[in-house]
Each structure stands twice: as C-alpha cells, then as structure tokens.
Structure 1
Amino acid sequence: MRLAAGAGLSAAACLALALGQPVQAGATAVTPQATAVALQATAVAPQTKAVTSGPGKARTVPVRLIAVNDFHGNLEPPTGSGGRIVNEQGTTVDAGGAAYLATHIKALADANTVTVAAGDLIGATPLISAAYHDEPTVELLGKLGLDVSSVGNHEFDEGYRELLRIIGGGCHKTDGCTPAGRWRGAAYDYLGANVRFKKAPELPALAPFSVKKVNGVNVGFIGLVTKSTPSIVTAEGIRDLTFVDEIEAANRTSKALKLLGVKAQVVLVHEGDQVAPNQSPDACPVIIGAGSRIANGVSADVDMVVMGHSHQAYVCKTKDPAGADRYVTQGSSFGRVLTTLDFQVDTRTKDVVRSTVAADNHVVTRDVPADPEITTFVQTWKDRVAEVANRRIGSITADLTRTAAPSGETALGGVIADAQLEATRTGGNAEIALMNPGGVRADLTYAPDGVVTYGEAFTVQPFNNLMQVITLTGAQLDALLEQQYQVNRILQPSATLSYTVGSSAPVGSKVSDIKINGVPVTDTQSVRVAANNFLVGGGDGFSVFTQGTDVWSGPLDIDALVAYFGARSPVAPPAPNRITVIP
C-alpha cells in the first residue's frame, strides 16, 4: 500500500504505534499482530489514492473539500419536510435529489477537490435503493466522485459482513445479483477507526484512515462512527464488533498519520450536535452535545472536523486542545446541503495553514438543470423497482402522521403497533406490541386518493427488522415503560395496552395503572410482548427488553404492516388514548 513518501516507517509500524503495540528499533519489524492490522486495513480499503496534482512549487497550495452526510439513499428528490430546508436568506426551499446534487457538485468542484462524506450514506433508504441492498446508492456516489467516507451507524443495518460486501464487491448471499449484474464494490474508501473486533480489540474491523494526494500534498482522513452504534443498530449484525471511544481512536490514528509524515489531517465523524430550528445552514453555535465533545477533544494535529448523524446544518469554529481555532461542520441530510472547506497547505511543513481555512454550507436547490447522466441512472433504477413500489396494499381515511400528542403517541405509531400485534398473535401469542418511534421514517398522507402503495409503506418502515415476541413479568413491563422517560423516547403502544403517566412524578415512578385489554397487570404475571429485533436486542437504550425470555421470531415488520393494510383497509387514525397523562 502506497503512503506518504519519506515517513520512515512501514504502514504496519505506524498502525502498531497508533494502537499502542510494540515496534522494534528503527521500525524495521513489528509484532505479527500489528502486521495483521495493516493487512486488515489494506484488504478493506485502499489507503492512498492520488486525486489530482498541481505544480507544488508555491509556498502554499490550495485544497478544497466538498462534504455530504446522511444521504440515506435519496436518489429521487426527497418529499415532505425531508425535501425542504431553510436557505442562507431564511427562506424555506425545495432541496435534494441525486440529479441536482450532481449539478451542484460539478459547479463547486475544481482540480484541487476531494469529495468526502460523514456516514449514513446507505441504510434507512427508500425502496429504489433498499430493494437492491443499497448498491444503487453506492454506485451513484462513485459516479458523483466521492473519494472517502466514514461509516455511519446505518452502514451496519444489514450487519458487518454485508458492509464488507458493499465495500469489496460480490452478489448478495441470499438475493443474488441485481439487474445491473455482479456488484463491483464501492469506488470510495469506507473508514472506521473506532470499529474493532471484540475478541481482539487491537484489530481494526475497517480501515482507520485514508491518505489522498491533492495538488501535490498529502491530506489524511480519519473515519469515525458514533460509539453509541451498538444501542441503535440490530445487535446480531455487529455481535463480533466493539465501538471504542471516538476521541481515543482519532488521536491514535492521528499519531500514525503524523509518523507517516501526513500533517494535514481531517476527521470525518458520524456524530453531531443539534441546532435551534429554522436556522440558516451556516448557523452556529450548536447546542452542546456528543458532537462538541469530539470536536473539542480530538488531537490538535487534526485541522478540521466534518460531522453527521444529527441531520443538522452548521458551520462553527471551536478550539482544539492547543487553543487554536478549528472548523466543525455538518451538512443536514438527504443530500440537501453540501459543505465546502477551502484551505492552504504549506508545501514545506506539509500542514494546513489554519488561518486560511474557510467553510460554507450550500443548499442543493432544484432551480438548476438536473444532471442528464444521473437523471437517466435514477430513472433506470426507478423503472426496475416500479412494479413492486406501485403495488397497492390498502388505503387510509386521513393522514397518518408522526406528529406526537401530549402523551407522546402518534397516529402512525399506533397503527404500526397494532399491525405488529396482529402479526405476532398467532405463533408468538403476543398480548401487546411496542414500536420505537425512531423506526417510523415518514408519514402516510391521504392525498390524492387515500391509496397506500408498497413503496410508501416501505418508506415508513425501511429497516426489514424481524418481529419477535418475548415474555416479561409485569414488574419488568413496568420497568420498561419507566425506561422511556430515562432515554426520552416514547414507545408506541398497541391498542391492547394502556397506562397512566404522572407528568410531575420523578423519573422511575412516573407510570401507573398498567392494563392489558382493560385488566390490571400484576408484578408477577407473564406478559407476551411483541417488538422488532432492534428493540428486543436493547436498541435505543431499552435494556429491559434484553431481560425477556422465550423468544419467538415471526415476520418482517414491513410484511406485518402490509398484511394489516390488506386486512383492515381503509385504516383510520387511532385516537391517542392509550397513554393517559395526569399532573
């Protein structure tokens, strides 16, 4: 693998040092384990790729980064609120869509550009991409010139092994090849410096860094994913992995890059903060959170931090540990915003001149010509999936939305929970069902005729989670419902479950009067609870689910919803009366 010239250390030696392993004098030999680290990184993603070159004789040379994050396979222009954003002038405009994204990237790119991303490019995607295990999205991003990306939590939606297939190529083990033929793999590098193997945590499960040569200088990119990933993806798919602290992993990898002579360093991290609503995409400051901890904590050798995960748009400056200014950015989601970072690299020191860094967020408006090649590409995949997407599965009497009542209940969440209960009664003997609100990804709108298609239902529930049923005691069910107010997520209950919440009661003592079909639940009785395998594995912080026994597995969640619409249409919005709130 080709790295920065004159570093004086082998790749294995640098990775060994980054991971705290021994290196012999002169860095001429390392432990066999460290060599395995280097080989693993090489096998997963190439470590260096020449992007472009320049004369290299000037004291400083310019570099431009174009960044995107949380694309989530939105090949077609996203609809509803997910397709609109507030621009720099404070006006809400339509934004996003692959063909428009391509036009904007071409307008922003120059000969000194590296295109980067901060994860969640795939996973939780519309049917046009998800039906083919997101190969269309990864191919599209290659066409758009993406060079390197961190992984996001959603890159693990189908498990680590499937992610390796997406990176390296080959047809899906169950569904085989798509109509496009054998999958060739990603044209860009996927990085995850803090993704390690549980049984050998010194071994990276993904390439930790990538070095790109641009305008004659090397720029190193460190990829990170939120360390909370195990709590927000299905446990089975990552059972062999551990996700170490982002700052620790970034600093070790930064040290390795520096030993290789790569001093211009950028962190791409799938973690971020929130901003106040309806802000300009260049707004700052953010609401301090997990993203700020990373932005302030990673090594002072890192020159800028590109973020994702929270679906916010911001351009901020923070202080690195040495007290110098450092830009931190994020570009919203769904391809609605592109971030540019322009800077000069000193050709003698090989480092970024921090005072030259300028960052900006650009809304991907739809008032530009759609790129013809990408338009054709998207239409091809749309035609391929049309028969499935357009199939009618039922109808609704009014909008089913994710808008929460004061209790936290939503109309769509209630319908999904009812559908899951109905699908798990036979075989699983489910008595109640609970649905995580974060798994409901879109509204179902009545317009124009109340018809619900498979494509619309899939957009609502794109994860293909498995329905499961577990047994909890009444006391455990009470603890689970109390846990909602610790993790600040209200589970959507089926119509068979009701309870009361004291709004002023302390956390841990808020829930009372739990009933199933109107009958009070005792602490010692057994209750069969249906939920998707994400929740049953303890997802979203609901650890009580993992105490369940007698696990039964049933249909996919999307199949449960489709069957419910087939049997119950037209479906009306349920009343939000399953949770009663008292002072």
Structure 2
Amino acid sequence: MTPRSFKRIAVAGIVAATGLAIAAGPASANPKPSVTVPVRLISINDFHGNLEPPTGSGGAIVNESGVSVPAGGAAYMATHLKSLVNQNSAVVAAGDLIGASPLISAAYHDEPTVELLSKLGLSVSSVGNHEFDEGLTELKRIQNGGCHPTDGCSPAGEWQGAGYQYLGANVLQESNDRYALPPIAIKKINGVNVGFIGLVTQTTPTIVTASGIAGLKFSEEVESGNRAAALLRRAGVKAIVALVHEGDQITPNQSPDACPVTPGAGTRIAQGLSADVDLVIMGHSHQAYICKTTDPAGNDRFYTQGSSFGRVLTTIDFKVDKKTGEVVRSSVVADNHVVTRDVTADPVISQFVQTWKDRVSTVANKAIGNITADLTRAAGPSGETALGDVIADAQLEATKTGGNAEIALMNPGGVRADLTYAPSGSEGAGVVTYGEAFTVQPFNNLMQVVTLTGAKLDALLEQQWQNGGATTRILQPSASLTYTMSLSQPIGSRISDIKINGVPVTDTQSIRVAANNFLVGGGDGFSVFKDGTDLWSGPLDIDAFVAYLGAHSPIAPPAVNRITVAG
C-alpha cells in the first residue's frame, strides 16, 4: 500500500476504531464558552537498553543548576516516572529504545528492555535507526511476539511482544512504496484524541548495516510527516504530536531546560512540519534541550529532546479545547527532569533488572583483561581518542592473519561507552569484564578487510568531513597508520603525509585496510570503502576486542598522536 493509497482507505478504519466523526455538524447559534482539558506527555528517547545505571560519561548529566550528577538506571527512572504520571498523562518515545545495548539486554535481543518499557506504560514510539539493527523482520517479531528464529526463547519463555506501538511514517518498502510500519496512532488521553506521527532520520541507510535496512527506503522527514498529519486531520484528529528520531547538537554543559542548539536537521524538521503538528518530540543526537520555534503559519511550537540512556524524562503539559479538539498552543509548558539516583529505586523494577542480570551474569562477569587507567572517548585536537585507538589496534591484530591487514580504521560512533578503571561491580579496580567490553562494542559487526590504493585511502580520509563540514567523523586509526590533517585547508585537501609503519604511502600502492562491515559497506558516509577489492571477512569486532584485551593486559591509555593537526 502506498502512502497515498493508505490515506485514501485507512481513514475509515481509523474512524471505526476510534469512534471519530470526520463531518462536522452545524454551528450552534449560541456557542458555549470553550472548555479545555489538560494533557501531559512524558517522553523518553535513545534508551539503548540501559537497564542498569550507565557508567562513565554516559552515566552523568548536567542538571538545571549546572552541576554534573549521576543519572539513569531503569529502577530510578521508574521512581521518577511514578512521580510524574497522573490521570491526564501518556508515556511516549522517540526511538532507539533498543539496539547498541549493554549485554544484559542485547544477549536476549532486547526483549528485557521492551518488557521493561511496556511495564512502565509506554504507549507509542517512533522507530529509531537502531531499531533496524537486526532488520525489519526482527523488529516486527519484537513488536508482535514469538521466539527468536535462531536463538529460540529467552529464559523468560515465549516472547509476548511489545506493549507499545512502533511508528514509521517515512519507512517504506523499496519495492512498492508501501508503509513498512504504521505511520500514525491515535490515543485517547483524558477524554480527548491525540494523534502521533512516527519519523526516523532519513540518514538511516548510512548509519545502519546494509542487511538491517534491506528492502527499505527512508523518505524525507518533513514531507512524510505532513502526509501523516493530513491523514490524522482527515480522521478528525486535530491535536497532533510528531515523534521524530532526529535532533540537533548543543553547546555543552547547559541546563537540560535550555535551548543551546546549533540548528541542524532537528531544527529544520521542527520548523518545516505542517502547522497541523502542535509539538515535536525528538531524539537521535543524545542531547537535552527545550526549544521553541515557529511553524509555517507563524505559531509557536515546542521541540524537545531528553538526552539518552534514561537520564532524562521530558514532560510536556498542554490543554486541548474539547469543542475543537485543537491544542491551545499558549498553554504548552515543557520541562526536562533529570533521572537522579538520590531517590529510592523502584523495588519491583530493581528486582526485574536483577533477574536479567543474574541470567546473563556468567558471561557478563567474566574477567577478560586489565587496564591501568580509564580508557575513554575523550577526543584530542584531531578527534582521535585513546579508546578508539585501542579498538583499532585490536581490529588490526585480529585481521592480520588471513586478511593480511596493514591498517585498521574504527568509526567513532561504534564506540558506545568508556572503559573505567574504577570497578563497576565486584571485579576489582582495573579489571575489564566481558559485559563492560560488550557495552563498548555492542553491535556484533563482522571484521572485514579490503584493498584500497593509496589514492583511495587519501580520498577515504577526506570523507571524515561531510555535508560541507557540518558533520565530522574522525576514523580511529591503528598505530600502523599516521597522517597529518590541515583544518585550514578546504575539504578534499586536508589530508597529507600518510604513512604506514613510518613509510610514506604512494597513490598507486595497494593497502589492505581492516574495518567493520558497517564501514566497509559505506556506512557513516564513507562511500570510498565500497571501492575496495578482495574482500575478506574475519571475526566479530567484539571477539577481536576481547582477544586483544586478554593478550595485552594491562593496557595503558595510548597517546593520541597518530593524527597530527597542522595549521
């Protein structure tokens, strides 16, 4: 079914299901004063399966007073959520609830996380790009139920499906332009109908492995959102909320209630969506902000985001006119609540998390190596990080035999957490467990090696600056690769002095380059990888990392000097 045909035939079904009437009756000669009812939405985004309190830099956030505080953890989130829920509220989300998850959730294909969110009353969510990590068929299994086709049922028994609905108004089947997922949902909240549109970043094909989005295409967000909004209006729904898995970056260390955004894709969508859309709830960029813009009709419109990993809950309060069904825009108030850990953890959710922790503990608690100090994602002037360098070294070591790799490159977005020297449990200071390593490298990507010429390697490194320089992704290099970047030069001419093991690279020489299959498939915009030849596939990236930690412990943070920054 195409988006247009869906609009033509689905309205009747929506009307029948909700009891809505599209045709309006004659106006009263003596209209009564407007009566409004309050509605509260409580939103989350980018939870990424963080059932346990996240650690490292991902386990803290700057609060309203400008102080960095520990935040997150499902049991603490449940306590905060209970204090915010009332009879007028609904819990909603903006995607990436699963995928790139710690082992406690990922080991069971994120069923524990989906069960948790269902228990907490989540009613509807947009899909995020990570909902497609294991493909559409797996996402539909998560939505509808049934045991995993390869791994079978989890220790909890047959999977019953999500208690909430995933939406994707711009996720289409490539073969026929039909919706791959429901584009909209209508929820009755405090006696009034509120319509929800789900949208995911149109860049999803560049940031998800090719197998995960096979057979799908992701259309532009504003056009798709406006088409869905028109469908809701035809169904008689006038209070409309867009759940959008896309967002902006911010000036760091600001209050979560501030609006220090650098306008980007998130602002573009928030400003471009039809005036029929009253609120825009965002995700993807893992930032916290409360912003206001104007819609195409000149009306004020809030757009918000609630950080990531369950560290923030966003409340949006507004009134709906019972007669017209419209949101009273002047009534909208939004607030980001930090999920602090200075409250009593919810005992039921604490036990739920502990149950899954016990189930995975044999694997998760296994010590695999040691570090002498924190290995972090804190970037030097070039964008190089100590942890990224260690991962690249591990990938090179794992692909030398068989793949004949000479250098390795790691995408920074695939490094999901820091390795901290302080113990996270009973393992002892400096001990790295399998669970901690998996949290750093959770994608189970396959290591691959391709041959590139020196000229192609140079072109690949130039792709670290994309969208006219608006997007920068510095590939983390193995110790065998050094080069100079000159940021004052135009994009396309910034890389020079490339060397492998100290020997200058020529344009015509052949180089065996190792990377994960996401990058080799052209992910993150590194399309030059697809020009590689003589493809070889090796171990999983997590296995390479674990083996390296075991063989080289204790590991000290390396100097981040493989990339030289020139003026």
State the TM-score bracket (shorter-chain normalisation): over 0.9
Counterparts of 2:483 and 2:343, CA distance in 1 = 52
- 2:39 maps to which residue? 63
Map of 1:189 onto structure 2 = 165
Closer/same/farther in 2, CA of residues 47 and 528 from structure 1, 3 Å limit: farther
Q: Which residue of 1 aligns with 2:421?
A: 446
Structure 1 CA distance for aligned equivalents of residues 411 and 249 of structure 2: 21
* Residue correspondence of structure 1 range 453-468 to structure 2 within 5 A: 453-468=433-448
1:221 aligns with 2:196: yes
**Inter-CA distance 47–136: structure 2 relative to 1 (3 Å threshold):** farther
> Are residues 449 and 100 of structure 1, via their aligned partners in 2, closer, same or farther at CA, if it must alter by over 3 Å?
closer
Match of 1:316 in 2: 291
Q: What is the alpha-carbon distance in structure 2 between the residues aligned to residue 462 and residue 535 of structure 1?
A: 15
In 2, Cα distance between the equivalents of 1:166 and 1:159?
Answer: 11
Q: How does 1:546-561 map to 2 (within 5 A)?
A: 546-561=530-545
Evaluate the alpha carbon distance shift between residue 523 and residue 111 of structure 1 in structure 2; reply closer, same or farther with a 3 A threshold: same
Cα drift, residue 505 of structure 1: 2.6
Q: Distance in 1 between matches of 2:527 and 2:358?
A: 42
Q: Superposition pairs for residues 41-120 of structure 1, below 5 Å?
A: 59-120=35-96
4+ residue stretches of structure 1 with deviation over 4 A?
46-50
> Could you give the per-residue CA deviations for residues 440-481 of structure 1, whole angstroms, max 9, x where no partner exists?
111222235321110111111111111111111111111111
What residue number does 2:24 align with?
A: none
Of 103, 106, 115, the match for 1:127: 103
Q: Output the CA distance in 1 between the equivalents of 2:465 and 2:240.
A: 40
Residue of structure 1 in register with 2:385 after alignment:
410
Aligned residue for 1:8?
A: none
Structure 2: which amino acid aligns with 1:482? E
1:485 aligned partner, one-letter code: W
| Cα distance in structure 2, aligned partners of 1:275 and 1:536 | 30
Secondary structure, aligned partner of 1:119: coil
Deviation digits for residues 188-233 of structure 1, max 9, x if unmatched?
A: 00001001111112x1111100000122221100000011111111
Deviations for 1:291-347, whole angstroms, at most 9, x for unmatched residues?
Answer: 010001101011111111111111122111111111111111111111111112122
Structure 1 CA distance for aligned equivalents of residues 243 and 403 of structure 2: 43
Deviations along 1:215-267, whole A, 9 cap, x unmatched? 22211000000111111111121021111000011000000111111111000
Match of 1:296 in 2: 271
Separation in 1 of the partners of 2:462 and 2:250?
28
In structure 1, the partner of 2:563 is 579
**SS at 1:278's partner residue?**
coil
Aligned partner of residue 20 in structure 1, secondary structure: helix
Provide, for residues 368-393 of structure 1, a one-character-per-residue CA deviation record: whole Å limited to 9, x for no partner: 22111101100100111111111011
**Alignment match of 1:482 (pick from 462, 471, 475):** 462
The amino acid across from 2:527 in the alignment is S
Residue of structure 1 in register with 2:141 after alignment:
165
Post-superposition shift, 1:420?
0.6
CA distance in 1, matches of 2:532, 2:17: 44
Show the counterpart of 1:366: 341
Q: What amino acid is the match of 2:155? A: P
Q: 2:226 aligns to what SS in structure 1?
A: helix
In structure 2, the residue matched to 1:211 is: 186
Secondary structure (helix, strand or coil) at the match of 2:4 reads coil
Q: Is 2:372 aligned against 1:388?
A: no
Please give the secondary structure, in 2, of the residue aligned with 1:314. strand
Give the AA of the match of 2:190. Answer: N
Deviation string, structure 1 residues 411-461 (Cα, Å, up to 9, x no partner): 111111111111111221211110011111112222353211101111111
**SS, match of residue 96 in structure 1:** coil
Instruction: Select between 486-495 and 178-187 the one with higher mean Cα deviation.
Output: 486-495
Q: Of 458, 463, 471, which residue of structure 1 is paired with 2:451?
A: 471
Query: Structure 1's 181 and 47: CA in aligned 2 closer, same or farther, altered over 3 A?
Result: farther
The 5 Å alignment of 1:138-537 reads 138-201=114-177, 203-447=178-422, 448-486=428-466, 487-537=471-521
1:285, CA displacement in angstroms?
4.6
Q: Distance in 2 between matches of 1:310 and 1:454?
A: 27
For the residue of structure 1 that corresponds to 2:117, the secondary structure is helix
CA distance in structure 1 between the aligned counterparts of 2:465 and 2:306, rounded to whole angstroms: 30
3-state SS of the aligned residue for 1:375? helix
What is the SS of the residue equivalent to 2:250?
A: coil
Equivalent residue for 1:7? none
Distance in 2 of aligned mates of 1:58 and 1:68? 32
CA–CA distance in structure 2, aligned partners of residues 22 and 332 of structure 1: 34
Q: Measure the CA separation in 2 of the matches of 1:410 and 1:286.
A: 25
TM-score, normalised via structure 1 length: 0.90
- Could you tell me which amino acid in structure 1 is paired with residue 507 of structure 2? D
Residues 483 and 49 from structure 1, CA distance in 2 versus in 1: closer, same or farther, beyond 3 angstroms?
farther
Looking at structure 1, the residues matched to 204 and 299 of structure 2 have their Cα atoms a distance apart, in angstroms, of 30
Measure how far apart 1:178 and its partner are. Answer: 0.8
Contact in 1 for aligned 2:34/2:323 (Cα 8 Å): no
**Which AA in structure 2 matches 1:77?**
P
3-state SS in 2 of match to 1:139: helix
State the distance in 2 between where 1:569 and 1:485 align: 34
Q: 1:398 to 1:215 in 2, by over 3 A?
A: closer
| Aligned partner letter, 2:43 | A
Matches of 1:126 and 1:437, distance apart in 2: 17
Decide whether the 8 Å contact of 1:65 with 1:342 is kept in 2.
Answer: yes
Cα distance change of structure 1 residues 49 and 154 upon mapping to structure 2, 3 Å threshold: farther
One of 503, 523, 527 as aligned partner of 1:543: 527
* Separation in 2, partners of 1:403, 1:83: 15
Cα distance in 1 between the residues matched to 2:101 and 2:387: 19
The answer on whether the counterparts of 2:185 and 2:195 sit within 8 Å (CA) in structure 1 is yes
Single out whichever of 239-248 and 78-87 deviates more from structure 2: 78-87
**Contact 1:47–1:209 under 8 Å retained in 2:** no
For residues 92 and 576 of structure 1, the distance between their equivalents in structure 2, rounded to whole angstroms, comes to: 26
Query: Whole-Å Cα distance in 2 between the matches of residues 81 and 575 of structure 1?
Result: 20
Aligned length: 545
Q: Is the 8 A contact 2:251 2:260 kept in 1?
A: no
What are the superposed Cα offsets for residues 60-95 of structure 1, whole Å, 9 maximum, x if unpaired? 222111111111111111122222222223332222
Q: Residue 413 of structure 1 contacts residue 492 of structure 1 at CA under 8 Å; is this kept in 2?
A: yes
Q: Which amino acid aligns with 2:521?
A: G
The 1:397–1:85 alpha-carbon spacing in structure 2 relative to 1, beyond 3 Å, is: closer
Displacement after TM superposition at 1:275 (Å): 2.1
Alpha-carbon offset, residue 356 of structure 1: 1.7
Q: How far, CA to CA, are the matches of 1:371 and 1:309 in structure 2?
A: 27
Q: What secondary structure is seen at the aligned counterpart in 2 of 1:236?
A: coil
Q: Unaligned stretches of 5+ in structure 2? A: 21-32, 423-427
3-state secondary structure, aligned to 2:314: strand
SS at match of 1:211: strand
TM superposition shift of 1:490: 1.2
Q: Out of 218-227 and 541-550, give the one that drifted further.
A: 541-550
Q: Which amino acid aligns with 1:474?
A: G
Q: Distance in 1 between matches of 2:12 and 2:35?
A: 34
